[in-house]
Chains A and B, each alone.
Chain A
């Protein structure tokens, strides 16, 4: 194994470690926020959870429409508006 590859592997490992630590810190921040909000600000907490939920449901709805149309056109039933 040459020096350069070993340093690049080390570099990759360091990068993974850095990401791991970053996300670990983020996870702790989220837990802290959730604990504080859950205790003192139930409605704030509901907003924080509810908003991503609303966004994701509406995004999933769009993706569902895509799938629906893709399967319809695959079966040769091109929708009349096309």
Chain B
């Protein structure tokens, strides 16, 4: 039987490595398109300042990109190393988008990123511009395929379970790729990357303007980032709403946790602006509620309701009882694949086979399952409400804050007066961490809200892990902790250093350039 500690440690490791990876990815997604925008201006107007801008921001881009690539390696292999049952169970569907990501997107991005950095002297202007656009396209296509894979975990479409092989099997590639969750989540995530890059570029430009350094570069970068950012923030909020709409239909437990709805109420339902959910007692403390708003937000009507946790648990208990015969039939089929009775029993109950697996955590022998165990498993179907609730609220608050910031930034930059408002420039610098926090919160909402499933409604998390010892898990966790901590320190140091040095590149003249060339000469001996 699988050890609960190993399940928890595997979850901690996956969450930590994914959240860490996701610190770097959004900046790559957005900054690549901002670089493409800057270089487009350079090629169309021919003004060298835009070349300087593109080169300077691409230097920062690469410092971030290196860690994004490095930590992405972990993600590619962690499904196999730590979630081997999951990998075997859904590899038929889940593996395909990952492989296509390599073929279609990551090769494109990685091959051309080398030319983007090294090719300035070797490519014509037009060729280099095309290369930069391809890097941006490649990195975002990467995100597309990863999120198609992720959307299968949230809303498994286009697949059937095959009781002969005990694995999920692809039934429709189109249903997988065009699933509503994949569509809205890809666009939401990609554009969240644009917002991240816009806040980053605007913030660093504000830092220069505050010190009256590199004014030409900073003003132009700020203007581009502000316009890019205001449109992207509007997009990200729109898609966030679309994603909530999808979740309401396919993941009601996630939605109930996001909104901390313990009891189903009559429409129109009120919205919990602030609340302190108490999972043990199944109530909210100190709730500040806005009448009617929840129905309006989630269903876009005043007559729609959101099923509460009480109703969802009752439904889960029913599905568990219906799923138990399906799992029992599978166990029979594993011994004799041609048992027609077991096959018929499985067919009759297969819609809830995942719920049968869920209760097996507490009742390995399903013949002896007790009502308490069913109740406990039904309670498990509700994710950690307080965590999801607050992660969601933080993400939304950060999003609205960034919208306000960008609207103001747009007004000031279009009046060409942002450089005269030191308070706003200081604010711009302090805004830099906000989108990164919002991104992490978004990941938490999506993936904590998916629990207790790895594939929603089909495969429970506890079954998905590899059968490792606690010792192995402690070993790998310590290794990741040590390496990743070292990396982030080095990255932050290099990033802040590159920002302090600024666009005066070594070799292109300027005081710091000469100083560095001299240092290099010293090392050369």
Contacts and interface: CB of A to CB of B under 8 A. Distances in A.
Interface stretch (B32-40, B156-164, B312-320, B478-486): B32-40
How many B residues touch the partner, as a band? 35 or more
Nearest to A42: B183
Residue from A51, A63, A81, A82 whose CB has the most chain B CB atoms within 10 Å: A51
Interface stretch (A3-11, A13-21, A25-33, A54-62): A54-62
Interface of B: 33-34, 36-38, 40-41, 44-45, 47, 50, 140, 174, 177-178, 180, 183-184, 186-187, 190-191, 194, 212, 215, 219-220, 223-228, 231-232, 235, 239, 242, 413-414, 416, 419
Given A42-B183, A43-B239, A54-B228, A62 B178 contact: no
Contact of B50 (A53, A61, A62): A62
28 contacts: A43-B180, A43-B183, A43-B242, A44-B178, A47-B187, A47-B190, A50-B231, A54-B33, A54-B194, A54-B231, A55-B33, A55-B37, A55-B40, A56-B37, A57-B231, A58-B223, A58-B227, A59-B40, A59-B41, A59-B224, A61-B223, A61-B224, A61-B226, A62-B220, A62-B223, A65-B219, A65-B223, A66-B45
How many A residues touch the partner, as a band? 20 to 34
A42 B238 CA distance: 14
Interface of A: 40-44, 46-47, 50-51, 53-59, 61-63, 65-66, 68-69, 79, 81-82
Given A43-B186, A44-B186, A55 B174 contact: no
A55 B228 contact: yes
B71 to A, nearest CB: 25
Chain A to chain B: the 5 pairs with minimum beta-carbon distance, closest first: A43-B183, A58-B228, A61-B227, A58-B227, A58-B224
Given A41-B178, A50-B235, A62 B224 contact: yes
A44 B191 CA distance: 12
Chain B interface main SS type: helix
A26 to B, nearest CB: 14
A40 to B, nearest CB: 5
Nearest to B50: A62
B225 to A, nearest CB: 7
Contact of B33 (A46, A51, A68, A79): A51
Contacts of B232: 54
A65 B178 contact: no
Given A41-B177, A54-B194, A59-B37, 5 more contacts: A47-B190, A51-B194, A55-B36, A58-B223, A58-B231
Contacts of B194: 51, 54
Residue from B38, B178, B226 whose CB has the most chain A CB atoms within 10 Å: B178
Nearest to A80: B420
Contacts of B224: 58-59, 61-62
